[in-house]
Amino acid sequence: GDSVTQTEGPVTLSEGTSLTVNCSYETKQYPTLFWYVQYPGEGPQLLFKVPKANEKGSNRGFEATYNKEATSFHLQKASVQESDSAVYYCALSEGSGTYQRFGTGTKLQVVP
Amino acid sequence: DTTVKQNPRYKLARVGKPVNLICSQTMNHDTMYWYQKKPNQAPKLLLFYYDKILNREADTFEKFQSSRPNNSFCSLYIGSAGLEYSAMYLCASSSPGGFEQYFGPGTRLTVL
């Protein structure tokens, strides 16, 4: 079946440093890939999605490239801020997109 | 309004007692989902309604029930709670072919 594997957390970074959260996936079909972000006390919300291989998604300074050959979708940000502290989920959806498979989440804490 | 509401936010239940969790959305989404989230684990899809059709995951088929009396509301019912049911329960909804899921803040269930 489908699976999503991402960097184990927690990850602690200083403000202004760069972030990479690894995400690898397994699927037999052609998925749409997602990154969700969950702030404390809230549910996950979509950061961005990429439906096509070799394309890049981005939002709020975060970006990820759908690498079909490597089956990866790593999340990156050049310079993190304290407000980026949250849990980040990688997810995939196949076909009609009726349901999504999530990774375990990576908790990011950014310190001043 | 793109919010999904969940009630209650916190629920304490006794072993062997029933639990009923409520979710609502006003986006006229045709699909509503329930996930179970435990620490260090990925959100696990329990079931989803596509319109009036209920789809339950095979490994949780007998543990969870659900109803959707109208497009806006969806409940998750546990007939007899066990300690293993302690978790965060996330409700989400999505529009046809929209792929993006909108999540509620979750209900934290503690079974004692």
pLDDT, block means (10 residues), chain B with 112 residues: 89 97 94 95 93 88 92 96 97 84 96 98
CB A62 within 8 A of CB A112: no
- Contact state of B92 with A43 under an 8 Å Cβ cutoff: yes
Cβ contacts of A51 on chain B, cutoff 8 Å = 99
Say what the pLDDT of residue A37 is.
Answer: 97
> CB contacts < 8 Å between A and B, how many?
53
From the centroid of its chain, how far is CA B22?
8
Q: What is the pLDDT of residue B2?
A: 67
Name residues whose C-beta falls within 8 Å of residue A105's C-beta, 6 or more positions apart in sequence: A6, A9, A38, A87, A88, A89, B42
A29-78 per-position pLDDT tens digit = 888 999 999 999 999 999 999 988 999 999 999 999 999 999 999 999 99
The per-residue pLDDT for range A92-112, each reduced to its tens digit, is 987 666 678 999 999 999 999
Q: What is the pLDDT of residue B95?
A: 84
Is-contact B9 B109, C-beta < 8 A? Answer: no
| Per-residue confidence (pLDDT) for residue A9, from 0 to 100 | 87
B20: CB partners within 8 A, 6+ apart: B75, B76, B77, B78
User: Cα–Cα distance between B53 and B37 in angstroms, integer?
Assistant: 23
Task: Report d(CA A109, CA A69) in Å as an integer.
Answer: 31
Which residues face A45 on adjacent strands?
Answer: A37
Q: Give the closest-approach CA distance of A102 to chain B in angstroms.
A: 6
Among the partner residues B41, B101, B104, nearest to A100 by beta-carbon distance: B101
pLDDT computed for residue A59 by the predictor: 97
Rounded distance between C-alpha atoms, residue A68 and residue A16, angstroms? 30
